[in-house]
Each structure stands twice: as structure tokens, then as C-alpha cells.
């Protein structure tokens, strides 16, 4: 499992994890799309935005390996802002390639891509 050095491990001041420490012996938790409902808590929405910002700042438009990125956090963005970057895609592989769908990410989280904006958290 690739560990993304320099990637934030969590949202500062919270228990919202962005990375995991070690690989699961049974294999990676499968990636699957989770529905984001309009009544989600503001803290959850803030964690999604912070995680996407970290992905953007760390990887930009380039494909990246799933590695030690937390599946629980990825699932909130998977299938929309974060999409597979390879075919066939294995949702249970730590080596799976992902990428940011920039157009969808800009539409969903415009505050991340605005120039000169301070962090919303």
C-alpha cells in the first residue's frame, strides 16, 4: 500500500480521517458511491470539501493511486468528483488509479477552485 507522504491525515481539530495507517489484512475496503443528501451535517460537508481540497492540492488533475487514502472519506466523493482513472477498475485494490473530475468538482465545490479564497474551515 502506497502511503501518500505530505497528505493530511485528518481534518484539523476533528476526528474526520483522510488517511489510514496500515493496510487491512483482508484487503482494501471497496470503494462505492455514497449518496450525499441535502440534510447532511455542516461538519460532514466541511470534511468533504477539505478532503477534496487536499486531493486537488496534492494531485491536481493527474491520476493518483488510492494507497492509504481513507475509503470512508473517498466514498462520499467517489463516482462524482473522484472517478476511476483506469479500466478495468478494481474497487478493492490499494493500487487502483483515481482522478478528480474537475468539471464536477468545480460544480459541487466552487469554493475550492476560486482564486484568492481563504480556507472555508
pLDDT digits (tens, 9 = 90+) for 3-26: 888 899 988 888 899 998 888 878
Looking at residue 14, what is its pLDDT? 85
The per-residue pLDDT for 115 is 60
Q: Tens digits of per-residue pLDDT, 100-117?
A: 999 999 999 998 887 644
Q: Which of 63, 53, 98, 52 is nearest to 79 (CA)?
A: 98
> pLDDT tens-digit profile of 38-53?
888 888 999 999 999 9
The DSSP annotation for 59-121 comes to HTTS-EE-TTB-HHHHHTTBTTTEEE-SSS--TT-TT-EEEE-HHHHHHH-HHHHSTTPPP--
pTM of the complete model: 0.86
Instruction: Taking residues 72-77, report their average pLDDT.
Output: 94
Q: What residue segments make up the domains of the chain, in order of their start? A: 43-113
Average pLDDT, the chain: 88
What pLDDT does 120 receive?
46
Amino acid at each position: 500500500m502506497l502511503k501518500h507522504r505530505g497528505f493530511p491525515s485528518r481534518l484539523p481539530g476533528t476526528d474526520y480521517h483522510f488517511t489510514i495507517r496500515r493496510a487491512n489484512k483482508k484487503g482494501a475496503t471497496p470503494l462505492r458511491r455514497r449518496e450525499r443528501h441535502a440534510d447532511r451535517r455542516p461538519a460532514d460537508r466541511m470534511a468533504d470539501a477539505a478532503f477534496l481540497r487536499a486531493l486537488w492540492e496534492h494531485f491536481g488533475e493527474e491520476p493518483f493511486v488510492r494507497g492509504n487514502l481513507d475509503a470512508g472519506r473517498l466514498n462520499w466523493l467517489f463516482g462524482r468528483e473522484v472517478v476511476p482513472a483506469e479500466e478495468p477498475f478494481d474497487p478493492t485494490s490499494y493500487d487502483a488509479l483515481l482522478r478528480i473530475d474537475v468539471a464536477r468538482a468545480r460544480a459541487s465545490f466552487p469554493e475550492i477552485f476560486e482564486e484568492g479564497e481563504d480556507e472555508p474551515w
